[in-house]
């Protein structure tokens, strides 16, 4: 399986610009089975989702079209509004248009994400090409019990918007989750975080 981790500079609150840029990077790197975009790839990471979170599904429709066009999975998180609540939602979109969603469980309390967003409560494992993949978002990385391998996955994919000042923690924790769970991992974050 070939997984391409896409890192991009994100234009603040500009889904059309960010989706276009991500599409260009995907077309410049053909042949992957999965393309992984950063956390809130279409808007930039926001702890205050008002005016940024999508209720119209623009980014999900773009992900669906791109998955179909490339024959690959498109994965990344989007600030989403649904029924008056906000979610940091990780979409795993397959080429046939079907998708799985995972709502970030561990909201970043130090930044205030928990004040506006609703935490998910489901552990989500999706299958693709014979492999089982655990979906996680950013701060979930700091909670090893949440990602404990129960024999139910082969790979963890983290999408994040990790700050540059915590680069050492990001690198160390990614490796720790892989070692303790005896699995592969992939982690994507925007360019500006490094």
Q: Which of 19, 94, 113, 138 is catalytic?
A: 138
* Catalytic residue flag (residue 104): yes
From the candidates 104, 113, 189, 193, give the one annotated as an active-site residue: 104
Rounded CA gap, 47 and 113, in Å? 4
Tokens of 160: 């994040």
Collect contacts of 82-89 with beta carbons under 8 A, ≥24 apart: 82/55, 85/118, 86/49, 86/53, 86/116, 86/117, 86/118, 87/117, 87/118, 87/120, 88/39, 88/40, 88/113, 88/117, 88/137, 88/138
21: closest CA among 56, 62, 51? 62
Does residue 54 have an active-site annotation?
no
Residue 39 annotated as catalytic: yes
Q: Which of 39, 54, 113, 136 is catalytic?
A: 39
Instruction: Enumerate the active-site residues.
Output: 39, 104, 138
């Amino acid at each position: 399986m070939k997984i391409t981790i896409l890192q991009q500079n994100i234009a603040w609150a500009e889904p059309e610009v960010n989706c276009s840029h991500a599409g260009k990077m995907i077309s410049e790197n053909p042949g992957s089975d999965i393309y992984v975009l950063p956390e809130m790839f279409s808007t930039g990471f926001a702890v205050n989702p008002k005016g940024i979170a999508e209720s119209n599904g623009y980014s999900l429709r773009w992900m669906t079209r791109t998955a179909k066009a490339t024959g690959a999975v498109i994965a990344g998180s989007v600030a989403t509004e649904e029924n008056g609540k906000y979610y940091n939602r990780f979409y795993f979109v397959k080429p046939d248009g079907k998708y799985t969603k995972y709502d970030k469980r561990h909201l970043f309390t130090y930044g205030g994400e928990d004040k506006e967003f609703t935490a998910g409560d489901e552990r989500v494992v999706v299958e693709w090409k014979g492999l089982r993949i655990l979906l996680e978002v950013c701060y979930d990385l700091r909670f090893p019990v949440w990602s404990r391998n129960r024999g139910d996955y082969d790979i963890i994919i983290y999408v994040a918007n990790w700050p540059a000042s915590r680069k050492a923690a990001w690198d160390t924790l990614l490796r720790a989750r892989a070692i303790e769970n005896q699995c592969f991992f992939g982690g994507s974050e925007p360019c500006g975080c490094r």
